[in-house]
Amino acid sequence: MMNPPLSPEIADRHASLDADQSAGGLDAEQAHRAGFYGLLAALLRDAPDGDVLAYVAQLDSAAEPPGTSELVLALKMLALASRHSSAAALRDEYHTLFIGLGRGELVPYGSWYQTGFLMEKPLSLLRSDLARLGFERATDVHEPEDHVAALCEVMSLLIQDGVAREPQQQFFNNHLGNWAPAFFHDLATAHGAVFYKSVARLGLAFMQVETRYLSLLD
């Protein structure tokens, strides 16, 4: 199974699905942002187990997050899909989509979406920026760092750590916002996607909200 290649120290700080617990003293807006990134990371780093499904299934009963009506609706559709999914079925779906026999239906890496190849220049630029921000590659992991889940985790951690919005904007624009919408569009239309269509819808809606939010710096 492919896991985003964060260091053990960073892995220990994965964003909780519960924004109130994971975001500490952040205000509500920043807590919701961190929580959405953490949610996407959790669903994309591996097939959700029963505990994750149970959590996601009740998200539509919580207070509605700020954002567009499409984001709120996407969250409700994801919660509904979680109530009608089993962990066993999602293990098969995840394998079909992202692992397969040699390769899954989708390749969830930034270099692939930007150049058509793995391990290309976008990855080297990402590694430089990760090092500058204090993130280290785990020595026992051999997957590239530009996995979509790993990048969502980094964004969540930047928000939780109170990093200024300008560095957040630069990281998002350079390493996630420039290709993740295309990935989520492909996920929404993938033949093997059932539950993950709802993940794709949430990802697309959230990427749109983040693009607008971070563009306010310009």
CATH of residue 207's domain is 1.10.3480.10
What is the C-alpha to C-alpha distance for residues 215 and 150, in angstroms, rounded to an integer? 22
Is residue 109 included in any domain, yes or no? yes
Residues spanned by the domain of 113? 14-215
- Give the pLDDT score at 165: 93
Please check whether residue 7 lies inside any domain of the structure.
Answer: no
Q: What pLDDT score does 16 carry?
A: 39
Residue 1: inside a domain, yes or no?
no
Q: How many domains does the chain have?
A: 1
Kindly state whether residue 158 falls inside one of the protein's structural domains.
yes
Length of the chain (residues)? 218
A 10 A CB-CB count for 160 gives 24
For residue 147, the SS3 value is strand
Structural domain includes residue 5: no
pLDDT of res. 201:
98
- For the chain, the straight-line distance linking the first and the last C-alpha, in angstroms and rounded, comes to 40
Residue 81 in any domain: the answer is yes
pTM: 0.87
Which two structure tokens, joined as six digits, stand for 115? 């150049």
Per-residue pLDDT at 14: 39
Kindly give the residue spans of alpha helices, DSSP state H, lying in the chain: 8-11, 19-22, 28-45, 50-57, 69-83, 87-94, 110-115, 121-133, 148-160, 165-175, 180-188, 195-215
User: What's the confidence (pLDDT) of residue 190?
Assistant: 98
pLDDT tens-digit profile, the chain (218 residues)? 233 334 333 333 433 334 344 445 789 899 999 999 999 999 999 999 999 999 999 998 765 655 558 999 999 999 999 999 999 999 999 999 999 988 999 999 999 999 999 999 999 999 999 999 999 877 777 789 999 999 999 999 999 999 999 999 999 999 999 999 999 999 999 999 999 999 999 999 999 999 999 998 66
Whether 189 contacts 140, CB under 8 Å = no
Spatial distance between the Cα atoms of 2 and 204, rounded to a whole number of angstroms: 23
Residue 6 falls inside a structural domain: no
What pLDDT, on the 0 to 100 scale, is given for residue 12?
36
Please tell me the predicted confidence (pLDDT) of residue 11. 37
H or E element at residue 143: none
* Cα–Cα distance, 147 to 81 (Å, whole number): 24
CA dist 76 and 81 (Å) reads: 9
pLDDT at 63: 53
Q: What is the pLDDT of residue 146?
A: 96
